[in-house]
A and B are shown apart, each in its own frame.
Chain A
């Protein structure tokens, strides 16, 4: 990517053969989020490409906060898409911030998106829970504190929520804590200024599957029906009793729903 004079090479994992499915993680996560879903998709005859966004996982983590804007993150992601071996269009799967990037790609580069699945997706900052919105006013403090917080504390914090602790395995909680710690603390800046996609959603003509957990308190669960209503070709499923990361908490329920939709869209092509 050209941001200043830099071009970043994002880390990715490519598996399998067949029609390509691209998987994009959320804020503070990594492509490891998709380990179970990619296994399922590859077994069903798809090629999967999962990426670590700029500042996340194994991707470069520039030191300056200038790179941690939604525009820079999107640009690096779009460049990564352009560099893929095949030209698309692809089936996109995006969670939260990854959902935002997938919707944005469908708007800016409709030639690249055949269909998409968005899981608890962000499309507007207004979806963020008011308490989190209030906390996000202290981003600078957060970026200073995050490197000092031990992994175990993040894991312990997840255990305090009965829903998360009952649905996330010990390994999943540990992996999430590791991903948060290895992401650049500057990623917190990304949500500082995110253009609202609401006025543009009606222009997305690709089929879109929207899935969310009815107990999502990171992005307010009642914001997702508005997304479904705004997208011309949306189908939706709500998973009862789970929060913001159903792909981690309840993969046995979520993954078959995604596969069914990907199959449906592949048959249509």
Chain B
């Protein structure tokens, strides 16, 4: 089983068991450029991604 990462209209599948930080590195996304959520709750970079789950990545735009 894998973990699904969704960023805008793009979907990525990565192996379960790695941290969010490593997963983002794999798909070439800077951790500070996105906010990651699992079932609507924000998760941190050091969270281990679990089999079968979907992580939504929300784009963070630099503001003030």
Interfacial residues, chain A to chain B (CB-CB below 8 A): 163, 166-167, 213-214, 222, 225-230, 235-242, 246, 249-250, 253, 257
Contacts and interface: CB of A to CB of B under 8 A. Distances in A.
Given A226-B41, A230-B40, A241 B8 contact: no
B64 A238 contact: no
B60 A240 contact: yes
Contacts of A246: 63
B16 interface: no
A228 B58 contact: yes
Contacts of A238: 35, 58-61
Taking chain B's interface residues, is the majority helix, strand, or loop, or is none over half, making it mixed? strand
Given A225-B58, A235-B8, A250 B40 contact: no
Contacts of A250: 63-64
4 nearest A-B pairs in the assembled complex, by CB-CB distance: A229-B40, A241-B64, A226-B40, A241-B63
Contacts of B42: 222, 225
Given A225-B35, A226-B40, A238-B35, A213 B63 contact: yes
A241 to B, nearest CB: 4
B37 interface: yes
B36 to A, nearest CB: 9
B8 A253 contact: no
Interface in B17-63: 35, 37, 39-42, 56, 58-63
B18 to A, nearest CB: 22
Secondary structure at the A interface, as helix, strand, loop or mixed, is helix
B5 to A, nearest CB: 15
Given A228-B56, A229-B56, A241 B41 contact: no
A222 to B, nearest CB: 6
B62 A240 contact: yes
Nearest to B43: A225
Contacts of B61: 237-240, 253, 257
Given A222-B42, A225-B37, A240 B59 contact: no
A213 B60 CA distance: 10
Which of A225, A228, A229, A240 has most chain B Cβ within 10 Å? A225
Nearest to A223: B40
Contacts of B40: 225-230
Contacts of B8: 235
A87 B39 CA distance: 36
Contacts of B59: 236-238
A252 B13 CA distance: 35
